[in-house]
Structure 1
Amino acid sequence: MKIYQYINARNAMALALASLVAVTGCKKSFLEVPPQGQPAATQFWKTGDDATKAVNSIYANLRGWTEVAFAPIALESLGSDDTETGSDPSDGSVPFMNMYDQFKVTSTQGQLSDFWNGRYQTINLCNQVLDHIDTIDMDATLKNRYIAESKFVRAYAYFRLVRAFGNVPLRLHLPKDASEYNLPQSPKAEVYAAIEQDLTDAAAGLPQSYAGNDVGRATKGAALALHAKVAMYQQKWADVLSLTNQVKGLGYSLFPNYEQLFRVPNENNSESIFEIQASLIPGNPDASNSQYSQVQGVRGQTGGGWGFNIPTKSLEDAYEPGDPRKDATIIFAGETTPEGDAISPTAPNPRYNQKSYVPFSMYVSGYNEGAQQNIRVLRYAEVLLMNAEAANELGDATTALADLELVRARARGGNNAVLPKVTTTDKDALRLAIWHERHVELAMEFDRYFDVIRQGRAAEIFGPKGWTANKNEVWPIPQSEIDQSSGVLVQNPGY
Structure 2
Amino acid sequence: MKKNHYIISGAVLLAIGITASCKKSFLELTPNGQFLESNYYANPQQALTALVAAYDPMVTETGGLDNTYIDPLGPLNSASDDCFAGGGGSSDIPAWQAINNYTMGPSVGPQGGFWATNFQGVNRADVLLEKLAKVPGLDEATLKRYTAEAHFLRAHYYFDLVRLFKNVPLILTSLQVNDVYKQPQATPEAVYAQIEADLTAAVNDLPTTVPASENGRVTQGAATALLGKVYLYEKKWAQAASTLEKVNGTPGGTSTYGYKLQTNFGDIFSPKNKFNSESIFELVHSGMQNYTWSNWNQFKSNVYVQMVGPRSFNGPIYYAGGYGFNPITPQLVSAMKGDPRYPYTIANIDSLTKATKTSYNESYQGTGYYIEKYAPKVANIVTTGVTDLNWPNDYIEIRLADTYLMEAEALVQAGTNTGRATDLLNAVRARVKLAPVAATLDNIYKERRLELATEGHRWFDLVRTGQAPTALAFKGFKAGTNEILPIPLTETLNGTQVKQNPGY
Q: Same fold (TM over 0.5)?
A: yes
Q: Alpha-carbon deviation of 1:178? A: 3.7
Q: Identify the residue that residue 375 of structure 2 maps to in structure 1.
A: 357
Q: Identify the residue that residue 251 of structure 2 maps to in structure 1.
A: none
Q: Identify the residue that residue 226 of structure 2 maps to in structure 1.
A: 226
In 1, are the aligned partners of 2:9 and 2:176 still within 8 Å (CA)? no
The AA in structure 1 aligned to 2:402 is E
In 2, are the aligned partners of 1:335 and 1:343 still within 8 Å (CA)? no
The AA in structure 1 aligned to 2:498 is L
More deviation, 2-11/309-318? 2-11
Cα 1:489–1:470 change in 2 (3 A) is same
In 2, are the aligned partners of 1:30 and 1:213 still within 8 Å (CA)? no
In 1, are the aligned partners of 2:350 and 2:369 still within 8 Å (CA)? no
In 2, are the aligned partners of 1:333 and 1:347 still within 8 Å (CA)? no
The AA in structure 1 aligned to 2:462 is V
Q: Alpha-carbon deviation of 1:467? A: 1.2
Alpha-carbon distance between aligned partners in 2 of 1:408 and 1:33, rounded to the nearest angstrom: 41
The AA in structure 2 aligned to 1:237 is W
Within the candidate set 435, 441, 444, 1:420 is matched to 435
In 1, are the aligned partners of 2:308 and 2:327 still within 8 Å (CA)? yes
Q: Alpha-carbon deviation of 1:96? A: 4.5
Aligned residue runs from structure 1 range 17-56, under 5 A = 18=17, 20-26=18-24, 28-34=25-31, 36-56=32-52
Give CA deviations for 1:347-376 in whole Å, capped at 9, x if unaligned. Answer: 434121111124224323524345211111
Q: Identify the residue that residue 252 of structure 2 maps to in structure 1.
A: none
The AA in structure 2 aligned to 1:421 is P
Alpha-carbon distance between aligned partners in 2 of 1:408 and 1:436, rounded to the nearest angstrom: 11
Alpha-carbon distance between aligned partners in 2 of 1:182 and 1:213, rounded to the nearest angstrom: 42
Q: Alpha-carbon deviation of 1:38? A: 3.1
* Counterpart secondary structure, 2:435: coil
- Normalised to the residue count of structure 2, the TM-score between the two structures is 0.88
Alpha-carbon distance between aligned partners in 2 of 1:212 and 1:300, rounded to the nearest angstrom: 36
The AA in structure 1 aligned to 2:23 is G
2:306 is aligned with 1:294 = yes
Cα 1:133–1:276 change in 2 (3 A) is same
* Counterpart secondary structure, 1:78: helix
Aligned residue runs from structure 1 range 45-444, under 5 A = 45-64=41-60, 65-66=62-63, 70=70, 72-73=72-73, 75-89=75-89, 92-93=91-92, 95-109=94-108, 111-137=110-136, 138-175=138-175, 178-179=178-179, 181-248=181-248, 249-281=256-288, 283=290, 286=295, 288-301=300-313, 303-319=320-336, 321-334=337-350, 344=359, 347-348=362-363, 349=366, 350-363=368-381, 364=383, 365-369=385-389, 371-395=391-415, 396-412=417-433, 419-422=434-437, 424=438, 430-444=440-454
- Normalised to the residue count of structure 1, the TM-score between the two structures is 0.89
* Counterpart secondary structure, 2:80: coil
Cα 1:94–1:343 change in 2 (3 A) is farther
The AA in structure 2 aligned to 1:82 is D
Alpha-carbon distance between aligned partners in 2 of 1:311 and 1:292, rounded to the nearest angstrom: 15
Q: Identify the residue that residue 253 of structure 2 maps to in structure 1.
A: none
Q: Alpha-carbon deviation of 1:393? A: 1.5
Alpha-carbon distance between aligned partners in 2 of 1:10 and 1:94, rounded to the nearest angstrom: 33
In 2, are the aligned partners of 1:288 and 1:368 still within 8 Å (CA)? no
Cα 1:105–1:440 change in 2 (3 A) is same
Within the candidate set 465, 473, 478, 2:475 is matched to 465
The AA in structure 1 aligned to 2:312 is G
Name the % identity. 32
Alpha-carbon distance between aligned partners in 2 of 1:151 and 1:237, rounded to the nearest angstrom: 23
In 1, are the aligned partners of 2:301 and 2:392 still within 8 Å (CA)? no
* Counterpart secondary structure, 1:127: helix
* Counterpart secondary structure, 1:114: helix
CA RMSD of aligned residues (A): 2.4
Structure 2 unaligned runs (5+)? Answer: 249-255, 314-318
Alpha-carbon distance between aligned partners in 1 of 2:13 and 2:302, rounded to the nearest angstrom: 22
Query: How many residue pairs align between the two structures?
Result: 474
Cα 1:370–1:347 change in 2 (3 A) is farther
Alpha-carbon distance between aligned partners in 1 of 2:93 and 2:171, rounded to the nearest angstrom: 34
Q: Identify the residue that residue 9 of structure 2 maps to in structure 1.
A: 8
In 2, are the aligned partners of 1:69 and 1:292 still within 8 Å (CA)? no
Alpha-carbon distance between aligned partners in 2 of 1:183 and 1:343, rounded to the nearest angstrom: 56
Q: Alpha-carbon deviation of 1:61? A: 2.9
Q: Alpha-carbon deviation of 1:480? A: 1.3
More deviation, 290-299/260-269? 290-299
* Counterpart secondary structure, 1:378: strand
More deviation, 247-256/261-270? 247-256
Q: Alpha-carbon deviation of 1:180? A: 5.4
More deviation, 180-189/341-350? 341-350
Q: Alpha-carbon deviation of 1:69? A: 5.1
More deviation, 254-263/69-78? 69-78
The AA in structure 2 aligned to 1:306 is Y
Q: Alpha-carbon deviation of 1:213? A: 0.6
Q: Identify the residue that residue 416 of structure 1 maps to in structure 2.
A: none
Q: Identify the residue that residue 415 of structure 1 maps to in structure 2.
A: none
In 1, are the aligned partners of 2:9 and 2:180 still within 8 Å (CA)? no
Structure 1 unaligned runs (5+)? Answer: 413-418
Q: Identify the residue that residue 500 of structure 2 maps to in structure 1.
A: 491
Alpha-carbon distance between aligned partners in 2 of 1:267 and 1:397, rounded to the nearest angstrom: 33
